[in-house]
Structure formats: structure tokens, C-alpha cells
Structure 1
């Protein structure tokens, strides 16, 4: 019987590892501004409705503020405004029907049906209809207000405060954008590194795994796009984010280029799967792809440090000038030359991400 150690062994799991506070603390760190926005908007709306309108318990002023802001990463003013309009629509329909048919269980059913039908007609967003229905249900079940449509005024106070807080106490968009951009580039680097390793070893399995990683980049790219669009929208109305607009526009240019680069990385990945089918190492394409991957890390560094852009650009220009399949791989088969050809659009996209105009980026590639 062998005395060698087993390949696998049990790893003890303690209660500390099961109930780690780190994820919760990370959520708090990311959400504290959103929480401050909600608390301030809801409290201010409640007080204004109470003091200005004289309403004893203007609950809808608070609920509209809370629901329209939320904790979601997408805090675009347009989204907040759309949610506010949806909730005011629900309150308006509920108050109008209550004057006609009164309140009760069947009146609640009629109110919800009418509200959701009208909301679906007005907006394609499912959230719009749900927001309207929730506020309609609350308005229908609360005691009668002092005057007709008083609760509509409460909701309007809540909506105004939500939009005002979005502009005057904005969530820091750059923090979210940087976090999501880093996550995307980490995935891009991992996919490219796996594809380079596959070429060096002639390993089809590694190539397939690299292609899988490249295909999985869509989710982090979408998250990056959502946080960026939210940040750009907030910066247009917030006086405190005026200085961030140029930085966010630069991020938008990088994201657009990296969206195309991601798609071309998948094309390259499919080529690598094909050429590694025979198990033969391909050192020349591997070196070229390795240079592209290293240049992509410089593009990633430029997200935080704009001074890295010209460095990344020069590195990519050096690669681009040599991407002639016939010159790089004289006498090689069509599969290898097609692989080098597939790298050309990828390098062009990365050059555009560094700020080079698309025409100049394309001109840097040798004609074939």
C-alpha cells in the first residue's frame, strides 16, 4: 500500500468562513450614498407635505421617494423620473376611482386592473406598471384624505425630492465605473492569457476554455455600460459632477472600442481552437498574441491613469506594423495566416481605445 499523500483532502470549513462579514461590509461601502439619498429625500418629502400641505401622515410622499431612488446601480435621472411618473399615475387613477366607486376589496381589484392596463399602454417598461400598481394599492387602502387628490400632491412632493436629491447629492459615478471597468478588463486579460497559453502548448482544450472566457465577457461589459450611462446622465444635471464629464466621456470611448475588441477576441479564439486541433505548438502566433494581451493590460491601466494611454498606443502601433500574415509566417498554412489576419481588427479596436482615430488605427495595419 502506497504511503504517498492523497491528491485531494478535506478542508475544514469553520463558521467564520460561512458567515464572513466582508461581503456585507462591501455592500455597505457601495450603498451608503444611496441610503443617504433615500433617507434625506423621504424625510424631506414627508416634512414638506406635512408642513406645507398640512397633511397629518403623508406616507405616499415618503414611499414615492424611496421607491423611485432605490439601491440599484442605475440611478439615471431619466429612470428616476420615469418611476416617479409611474407612481403618480397609479395614485391619480386610484384617487379618481375612489371618488367614483368608493373603497373595498372589489374596488381594489378594479383599481389594480385599470392602473396596470393604463400603465402598460403608457410605457413599455414592466417596472413602470408595477410602480404604478403598488402606489395605487397603497392609495386605495389608506383612509380618505382631507380633500380629493391630496395624496397625489404627497406623491408629487416625494418625486420632486427624489429628483432633487439625485442632482444635489449624487452617487459617485466614477467609483462604480472604475470598478466595473476593472472587472471587464480582468476577464479580458484572463481570456487572452488562456488563448496565448493554448498557442504555446498546442492545447485545444485550453483554447476552448479561453474562448469560453471571451464569451463570458458580455455580462461585465453590460455592467460597465450601465454604470457608465448612469454616471453620464447624472453628471449632466448635477453641478457637483461637472468636472467629471470629460473623464466619463473618455470612459465611453474606451468602452465602445472594447465592446468591438471583445467581439474580435472571440473571433481570434475560434481561430485558435481550429489551429490547435492537431496539438502542434505555434510559437510565432503565440508571441504576437502575447504582445496584444500585454498591450491590452496597458489599455486597462489607462482607465485609472490617462498617462498610460500613449504608452499603450505605442505598444499597439509596434504590433500593428508587423501584422502581415505572409511576412510574419512565410510558408505557413492558411490556418495560421488566417489567425494573424484575425488579430488585425482586434489591434485596431485596442488602438481606438487608446484615443487613436479609427482611420489612423486602420492605416497602421499593413495592407495585404
Structure 2
């Protein structure tokens, strides 16, 4: 069946009008800007510290008057990317330094000039694409190579700038381990953002079933469809947190906790995918004037467990409580008991909740077979 259009979308379709953003959509949000600055402060401090160290090595250690590439390689290797794994930092540094060294080699062989400029830029871009899929990285590497071609030759002779670039890359990698950006805190923040969307979505599904409210079902489905970027962000920050915790002596003790949260994410991702399917089914089932309090109670039980699971990221003691709440729902997921004589569409909804509850139970730490054994037999 095709999904029922929301009232707003039906109105736009009927009018044939083109959707244009209002003035509020383009307005600058000061609160979001301040939050963006707050969450970026660890990265800002890390970049400033690393750039200062790289400059000091180039200026006072190597005696280079203007160690531009030591600083720029450090900044481009660290950057503001969510993926701040040491491996990514190393790949960026190696790629950029290789591009600088190749540029200096080509400069010795073919000299400076208009066509030489094009050859070096072409080579830098090709090498950058080889080392990384990031377009921003390719631009950064090409920029470093242009410094080699366009700036005056340094007093230190050939490969002086390669040495500066190497120092910058090493500093970036060391700072990643010794002065991490609190990747664990960033991962927790991503988890909170996800649960902040899941909880109202589940509440909307409960209202949709309890009051046969199509608008609530539409709202829940829209929220759940918008959670994929949140899951992707959380996955990226958790992967960074695991990688940095393995390398950093200051974060190694937190590695078991972070690895455990990565397991939660794996099964929560599956649960959210199942929940989207359930929401889609609810959206196409209701709207016939019938209330479904029994189904609403089941979803409300799942919603309560998800809310407690979200709180377990602050205090792990909440996790067994979430597991108990889910087990209570799992024991009721028998259509013949919950909805005796119900239509097939409602029976199917109960059956669709079973894999969802299994995924959530596994997110609380229960193995698959144990989670499955908690379900009511059908």
C-alpha cells in the first residue's frame, strides 16, 4: 500500500504551489552556533597546540625562517572532521607529505613555470585521491603542493619544506594520542541526540494507535526516517573513540566501556531499522476509525524500555531495568493472547514487534539465543 500523505503535503499537492523556504528557515540560529562552538572547542585547542608545536620544531629545531608547511600540514591533518581516528590522521599526513615531496622533486627536475605549475597540481590531486576518498583532503594536498611551487625557495635547500611537512604530520599524530578531543564524550552526545528523536517518535506511535491519529503516525515515521544520519554520526564518533582509546595512554582505561557502547549501537541500529518498518505498517493500518489500545500498550512498554536504555549511557545501572521492561513486553508478544480474533493486519503488527524486541534486548547485553527465549511462544 502507498503511504498516506500528510495533510500539509496534500495541501501543497492540491495547490500546485512550489515550496519555498520562509525567512525563518534561512535565519541564523545563535543557539546552534554557540553549541557548534562549544562542541568544537576540544578540536580548536588540539589544533592550536599542535600547530604551535609544529611551528616551534620548524622554526627553532630546524632553523627554518618560515615553516609554513609544518603548520598547514598539522592543521589539515587534524581538521574538524568527525572521523578523528589516528589512522585517518596518519593517512592524511602521509598523503600530504608525499605530495609535498613529489612537488619538490618535480621542481628540481622541471623547474618553475606555467606548464610546470599544471603538472605539479595534476600530480598532487591524483596522489591525494589515491590516499583518501575525501575531496577536502585532495584540496588540502593540492594547496600544500602549490605552496611549494609559488612561494620563494627556502634557504635550506631542496626538501626543506618536505621536512617541515613531515614534522607537522608527526606532531598531528602524536597530539591525537596525547591530547585527544574527548571522543568518548562526543559519542555520548551523539547517543543522546539519537534517543532524543526515538523517544518522541515512539510516543507518537502510541498516540496514533490509542486514538487512531494518522497525523501522529506520520510524525513518528518522519522522525524515524531522519534518524539515519544520527546513527551514522554516532558510528563515526564511536569508531574514533575506540581507535583513540587504544592509542592514548589517558583513555585506554575507558576502552571496555566504549567497546560496549559500540555493541549497543550495532543492535540499536538494527532495532531502529525494524522500528521504521513497524511505523510504516502502523501508518498504513490506522485511519479506519478504530482504536487499538492493546497494540498501544505494547508499544508504550517498548517506549518505556528505550527511555531507560537511553539513561543507561549516564548510569549503566539502568541497563538491567531496561532489559526487565523489554522482557515483560516480550512475554506478551503472542497475537492469540494479546489480540484474540483480531484482523490479520493487527496480528502481523504484533509479530513485527518480536524482532524489534530481540534487537533491543541484545542492545541491553543479552545474547541472541537468550533474547529469543524471552519471547512468548507462538
The change in CA–CA distance for 1:72 and 1:118 in structure 2 (over 3 A counts) is closer
Hey, what does 1:246 align to over in structure 2?
256
In 2, the alpha carbon distance for the partners of 1:294 and 1:166 equals: 39
Does 2:86 align with 1:77? yes
In 2, the alpha carbon distance for the partners of 1:283 and 1:90 equals: 65
Cα distance, 1:27 vs structure 2: 2.9
Hey, what does 1:5 align to over in structure 2?
none
Hey, what does 1:40 align to over in structure 2?
49
In 1, the alpha carbon distance for the partners of 2:145 and 2:185 equals: 36
Does 2:169 align with 1:132? no
Matches within 5 A, 1:276-291: 276-291=286-301
Hey, what does 2:151 align to over in structure 1?
142
Does 2:297 align with 1:294? no
Cα distance, 1:274 vs structure 2: 2.4
Hey, what does 1:6 align to over in structure 2?
none
- Deviation string 1:92-126 (CA, Å, 9 cap, x unpaired) is 12101111221233322221012212333454443
In 2, the alpha carbon distance for the partners of 1:125 and 1:343 equals: 39
Hey, what does 1:332 align to over in structure 2?
342
TM-score by length of 2: 0.89
The change in CA–CA distance for 1:34 and 1:121 in structure 2 (over 3 A counts) is closer
Q: Secondary structure at the match of 1:170?
A: coil
Unaligned runs of 5+ in 2: 1-26
Whether the 8 Å CA contact 1:65–1:158 is kept in 2: the answer is yes
Whether the 8 Å CA contact 2:308–2:318 is kept in 1: the answer is yes
More displaced 10-residue stretch of structure 1: 230-239 or 26-35: 26-35
Unaligned runs of 5+ in 1: 1-17
In 2, the alpha carbon distance for the partners of 1:61 and 1:105 equals: 26
Hey, what does 2:175 align to over in structure 1?
165
In 2, the alpha carbon distance for the partners of 1:32 and 1:119 equals: 28
Does 2:107 align with 1:94? no
More displaced 10-residue stretch of structure 1: 39-48 or 126-135: 126-135
In 2, the alpha carbon distance for the partners of 1:274 and 1:21 equals: 39
The change in CA–CA distance for 1:169 and 1:141 in structure 2 (over 3 A counts) is same
Matches within 5 A, 1:335-346: 335-346=345-356
More displaced 10-residue stretch of structure 1: 276-285 or 23-32: 23-32
Aligned pairs, number: 351
Matches within 5 A, 1:302-313: 302-313=312-323
- Deviation string 1:232-269 (CA, Å, 9 cap, x unpaired) is 11111000001211111121111111101101101111
Cα distance, 1:129 vs structure 2: 2.7
In 1, the alpha carbon distance for the partners of 2:165 and 2:88 equals: 17
In 2, the alpha carbon distance for the partners of 1:110 and 1:132 equals: 14
In 2, the alpha carbon distance for the partners of 1:27 and 1:55 equals: 36
Whether the 8 Å CA contact 1:204–1:279 is kept in 2: the answer is no
Q: Secondary structure at the match of 1:304?
A: coil
TM-score by length of 1: 0.91
Hey, what does 2:218 align to over in structure 1?
208
Hey, what does 1:110 align to over in structure 2?
119
In 1, the alpha carbon distance for the partners of 2:352 and 2:297 equals: 15
Whether the 8 Å CA contact 2:96–2:128 is kept in 1: the answer is no
Cα distance, 1:352 vs structure 2: 0.8
Q: In structure 1, which of residues 306, 314, 317 is the aligned counterpart of residue 324 of structure 2?
A: 314
More displaced 10-residue stretch of structure 1: 262-271 or 19-28: 19-28
Whether the 8 Å CA contact 1:116–1:132 is kept in 2: the answer is yes
